[in-house]
């Protein structure tokens, strides 16, 4: 079938906070053929994507959820091993990022910045694509594929954003302002916002636009297989994205980064196959 805009039920999975999908609220996406991409887009052209049924978390993985993983496994992230992560903050020039010593998921802006323990419902950041994949494996899931992420994020829409073809700053957490020297706070936040702070899309997914870039497991077809060992894709844009810098806060663009790199605007959500 060619999927349209029909509503999909959320699976509200109850249970104790332990490994498995019951740690996440899940949206079930039926098997089918869905339209993805954009007309004449060089990386993500309009096409049919045939997908098997999957379930996807309605929200980005939080600091609290990632902390449970670390507590249970003793996992050490790439940023912790490297001793630093990339940080951008208000007042810096556009495109400027600092390699901040001591920045990791516990202190995503460095030792003097906000702590993850004080922001349990914010999306976890300063985790690499490899770290995100490790969490997903522990919980019994995986990272979404590019087309899976896009189908769920579009929720039946063929527009540039889930709500239409005109951006609405009240619907997503991106950078507000002419440059990164000052954020006008039009959407209520400068950096990450708690998950589910904005209205969900038509299928019940939150923050598919903005807040944090979300890792996906595969690469667009024009990449070589060897690239998969060093690169990972991100979708949806983040709190840092603005029209004058990285305007990837939409349903069409596909960004890439180092699979073991860590930034203060990168996160993920989990997919389950059954």
What CATH number corresponds to the domain at position 137?
3.90.1580.10
Residue 4 forms part of a structural domain: no
Domain range for 14: 10-272
Supply the pLDDT for residue 228.
85
Token pair, residue 222, equals: 């024009």
pLDDT value at residue 21: 67
Q: At what angle do helices 129-139 and 63-73 cross, to 10 degrees?
A: 70
What is the structure's pLDDT at 15?
33
In a domain, 5, yes or no: no
The count of structural domains within the chain is: 1
- Residue 2 falls within a domain, yes or no? no
pTM reported for the whole predicted model: 0.92
Beta strand extents in the chain (DSSP E only)? 10-11, 26-29, 32-36, 47-51, 54-57, 84-87, 98-101, 213-216, 231-235, 255-258, 266-267, 271-272
Nearest C-alpha neighbor of 272 from the set 141, 145, 144, 148: 141
For residue 102, being part of any structural domain is answered with yes
- How far apart CA 209 and CA 202 sit, in angstroms, is 13
The length of the chain is 274
User: Tokens 């690499």 label which residue?
Assistant: 128
The answer to whether residue 136 sits within a structural domain is: yes
**Cα dist. 274→141, 148, 270 in Å?**
9, 14, 12
CB 270 within 8 A of CB 136: yes
CA distances (Å), 208 to each of 38, 138, 162, in order?
17, 23, 9
pLDDT value for 181: 95
Supply the pLDDT for residue 6.
Answer: 43
User: According to the model, what pLDDT value does residue 274 have?
Assistant: 77
**Residue 1: its pLDDT value, please?**
31
Flag whether 3 is in a domain.
Answer: no
24 domain residue, yes or no: yes
Q: Which residues of the chain have a pLDDT value below 50?
A: 1-7, 9-18
Q: What is the pLDDT of residue 50?
A: 97
Determine the pLDDT at residue 3.
Answer: 42
- Establish if 108 belongs to a structural domain: yes
Structure tokens at 127: 């985790």
Q: Which residues are CB-contacts of 87 (< 8 A; sequence separation ≥ 6)?
A: 97, 98, 99, 100, 103, 108, 109, 110, 113, 263, 264
């Amino acid at each position: 079938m060619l999927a349209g805009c029909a509503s999909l039920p959320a699976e509200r999975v109850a249970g104790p906070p332990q490994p498995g999908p019951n740690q996440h609220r899940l949206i079930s996406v039926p098997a089918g053929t869905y339209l993805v991409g954009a007309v004449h887009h060089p990386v993500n052209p309009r096409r049919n994507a045939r997908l098997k049924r999957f379930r996807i978390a309605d929200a980005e993985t939080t600091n609290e959820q990632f902390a449970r993983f670390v507590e249970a496994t003793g996992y050490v992230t790439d940023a912790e091993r490297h001793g630093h992560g990339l940080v951008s903050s208000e007042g810096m020039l556009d495109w400027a990022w600092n390699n901040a010593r001591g920045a990791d998921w516990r202190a995503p802006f460095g030792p003097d910045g906000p702590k993850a323990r004080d922001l349990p419902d914010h999306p976890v950041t300063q985790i690499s694509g490899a770290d995100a994949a490790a969490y997903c494996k522990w919980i019994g899931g995986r990272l979404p594929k590019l087309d899976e992420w896009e189908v769920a994020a579009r929720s039946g829409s063929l527009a540039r954003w889930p709500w239409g073809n005109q951006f609405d700053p009240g619907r997503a957490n991106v950078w507000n302002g002419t440059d990164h020297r000052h954020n006008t706070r039009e959407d209520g936040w400068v950096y990450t916002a708690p998950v589910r702070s904005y209205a969900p899309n038509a299928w019940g997914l939150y923050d598919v636009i903005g807040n944090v870039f979300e890792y996906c497991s595969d690469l667009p077809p024009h990449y070589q297989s060897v690239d998969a060992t060093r690169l990972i894709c991100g979708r949806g844009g983040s709190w840092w994205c603005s029209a004058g810098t990285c305007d990837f806060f939409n349903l069409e663009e596909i960004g890439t980064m180092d699979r073991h790199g860590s930034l203060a605007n990168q996160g993920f959500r989990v997919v389950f196959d059954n």
